[in-house]
Structure 1
Amino acid sequence: MTKHLDPNIRHDFVLLFDVVDGNPNGDPDGGNMPRTDVETSQGLVTDVALKRKIRNYIATYADYEAASDEEAARLKIFVEHRGVLNDQIRRAYIAEKIPVGTSAKAVVEDNKVLVPLRELKPYLPTAFVFVDNDEESGEVDATLEYSGELSEDELKEFYEFDVVAESFKQNKAFSKFIKDLVKKAGKPEKNRLNAEKAQKWMCQNFYDVRMFGAVMSTGLNAGQVRGAMQLTFARSIDPVQPQDLAITRVAVTDAKDREKLQTIGRKTMIPYGLFRGHGFYSPHLASQTGVNKKDLELFWESLVKMWEFDRSASRGMMAPRGLYVFSHDNKLGCAPAHKLFERIQIPKLQDQGIVPRQFTDYSVQVDDQNLPNGVTLTRLIEG
């Protein structure tokens, strides 16, 4: 049965996964404690956390398992770890030969400008192109070009960056040179056709843009894309009890603490939690972003395998426990998603006075009888 691989029909799915003695998704606003619903104490894992795992798996697949360079080229990741989104959008403009701005270029004739430029070259945004023709000889023979693409906020961030701000403070000539050059440059002409052209390139080349969508109007404009695949938060079946544990370290952070026998650290975790999340695939949106059969196949594969590439001491033991895909035989669907999801029931153990500590404590009940006409259930993983 391969209906779940058809990108031209609607799919709704239920994902089950569990965690043992780990933190599945820390809350930075709560000291990185596991996220919970404050009223029910059920554990929460955000859609963003799940998509991070999917992105990481796709990137790993592209590096090691892609069948060809052409396939790998379609699997780039837009939202990379520590990546710069505007730099990614700029790639589309460069690839499609779309102007990134009205550039300005100046010859660097003053050593008071040339010296700090050489020192700050690694920190210059990609919108600045510094060509130093004779750096070794020390002669003044260099140019600086600015594309004009950065927003006011981006320029402010560049100006306030530690090493840049210090150079501006100590060297007024350098500060004036850079800011005068920026004033001479201009923004690219607002052109809907160019934005649509860049957006098409982004969809063709970035897997997560095709699948999840993206806002790509933060710098150079590539518009906004609504992704074909949408995920919900995952919620634990029963309440979880986050724990903050003290650990001892035999190493110290600062030399002044060398005489201490040990220092104290913290680890946060939940003893056990079985989580349930949902997702929805829209073939209408997929046709706009260019999702194909292989994209869909890799998505289901990532939900099963991504846990193996996200191991860490803080995660504990996480594993997929169920992936149930309801496939409709048309684009609009044959039944409401919530009615299909109700066919998968997991009774709460707290109602029976049981404290869950392993997956086998639960009984997953799947009603696959008398499915609505046109709906097929595919069980990609169980247990």
Structure 2
Amino acid sequence: MQSLQNKIDFVVVLGVENANPNGDPLGGNRPRTTADGLGEISDVAIKRKMRNRAQDEGENIFVRMQERADDGAKSLSERLGNFLKGLPKEDQKNRDVVFDKVCQQWFDVRAFGQVFAFKKKDTGAEGVSIGVRGPVSIQSAFSTEPVAIDSVQITKSVNSETTDDGKKSSDTMGTKYRISGKAVYVTKGSISPQLAEKTGFSQEDAEIIKKTLLTLFVNDESSARPSGSMEVLKVVWFTHDCKAGQYSSAKVHRSVKVDTNNDKVKVEVNTDEISGLKYEILDGQ
């Protein structure tokens, strides 16, 4: 594995059309908006999709969705406990050893970090409380323009339960929310080589992060996000020539201009602001 030698910044441009980009369409789960009406996709939702894509690629993931928990663990503490019990007793008590082992074991831990603060009885092994600060940071995504939200009532027309009088049971009502029409969202992130050194995050891991961003909505279809309603339009991937970075992440992120005029999305980089910085503009997959 090749250690990460260069700071990385990235900007991801997302397209949404008549979908709820954050998730569950029921239970009053409206698409997120800011005080000024911009649409928002939380960083938690984005990292959840990135974890799912990494797991699809064969990476071992610690924070898994319940339906993706294929290792038999019913909780995070049980997953950690099962892992710790496989370590020698003396290693279970050594915070530095446990730090290194959990980073080696789980891709998302060495990428995004994780707080391990479970009780001894929860893990079934020597109690340990450690915090891992990951090198990959990503912001919430915000729409380039204010969004409108549609609400649609849902009626279940089938007979859900058998009634005493043989008549049809009451219909179940719900509400489905979605972004009205089309919207363009932008999220930004960075990868720190200094933090990567501590968790063992490698250059190969950075390529996995790039791939998850390019394929963010693959296998993510649901009634809230029908197939084709969410897409990655562009990923702008910046590679600095040193660990500290040639420019600040804020300046790099500001150099990306997203133009949505005439219903077409155009992504450009103002190279005058970041002279000499290498970058590539990639199409989503």
Q: TM-score under structure 2 normalisation? A: 0.83
Larger-Rg structure: 1
Structure 1 residue 247 displacement after superposition:
2.8
Structure 1 SS opposite 2:64: coil
Offset, 1:321: 0.6
Give the match for residue 177 of structure 1: none
Give 2:156's aligned residue.
Answer: 249
SS of residue in 2 equivalent to 1:216: strand
Q: Who is 1:109 aligned against?
A: none
Q: Does 2:124 align with 1:224?
A: no
The alpha-carbon deviation at position 371 of structure 1 amounts to 5.8
Q: CA deviation at 1:28?
A: 9.7
Change (3 A) 1:377 1:251: same
Counterpart for residue 210 of structure 1 = 110
1:308 and 2:218 matched: yes
Alpha-carbon deviation of 1:292?
1.5
Structure 2 unmatched ranges of 5 or more: 67-73, 120-126
Q: What is the SS of the residue equivalent to 2:215?
A: helix
Over 6 Å off, 4+ runs: 27-30
Closer/same/farther in 2, CA of residues 378 and 348 from structure 1, 3 Å limit: closer
Summarize the Cα distance change of 1:89–1:262 in structure 2 as closer, same or farther, 3 Å threshold.
closer
Equivalent in 187, 193, 199 of residue 99 of structure 2:
199
Distance in structure 2 (CA, Å) of the matches to 1:375 and 1:227: 24
Give 2:177's aligned residue. Answer: 268
Deviation at 1:248, TM superposition (A): 2.9
User: What amino acid is aligned across from residue 341 of structure 1 in structure 2?
Assistant: H
Cα offset for 1:251? 1.1
Q: How does 1:120-135 map to 2 (within 5 A)?
A: none
Q: What letter corresponds to residue 146 of structure 2 in structure 1?
A: P
- The sequence identity of aligned pairs, in percent, is 28
| In the alignment, structure 1 residue 326 sits paired with structure 2 residue 238 | yes
Q: Give the residue type in structure 2 aligned to 1:80.
A: R
Give the alignment's Cα RMSD to 1 decimal. 2.7
Cα distance between partner residues in 1 of 2:260 and 2:188: 18
Match of 1:337 among 249, 255, 259: 249
CA distance in 2, matches of 1:268, 1:345: 30
Does the residue aligned with 1:377 lie in a helix, a strand or coil? Answer: strand
Between the aligned partners of 2:172 and 2:14, the Cα distance in structure 1 is 35
> Normalised by the size of structure 1, how large is the TM-score?
0.63
Corresponding residue to 1:16 among 6, 13, 19: 13
2:53 is paired with a residue of what secondary structure? helix
Q: Does 1:84 align with 2:79?
A: no
1:211 to 1:249, Cα distance in 2 relative to 1, 3 A:
same
For 1:221 and 1:28, the matched residues in 2 are separated by 38
Out of 205, 209, 213, the position equivalent to 1:299 is 209
1:55 paired with 2:51, answer yes
Please tell me the residue identity of whatever aligns with 2:30: M
Q: Distance in 1 between matches of 2:47 and 2:167?
A: 42
**Equivalent residue pairs, number:** 265
Larger displacement relative to structure 2 (41-50 or 368-377): 368-377
**Equivalent residues of 2:103, 2:109 under 8 A apart:** yes
Task: Tell me which residue corresponds to 1:31.
Answer: 28
Alpha-carbon distance in 2 for matches of 1:342, 1:315: 29
Give the unaligned 5+ runs of structure 1: 63-74, 101-187, 350-359
State the 1:29 CA deviation: 11
Decide whether the 8 Å contact of 2:162 with 2:169 is kept in 1.
no
Relative to 1, partners in 2 of residues 1:373 and 1:237: Cα closer, same or farther, differing over 3 Å? closer
Distance 2:248 2:167 in 1: 63
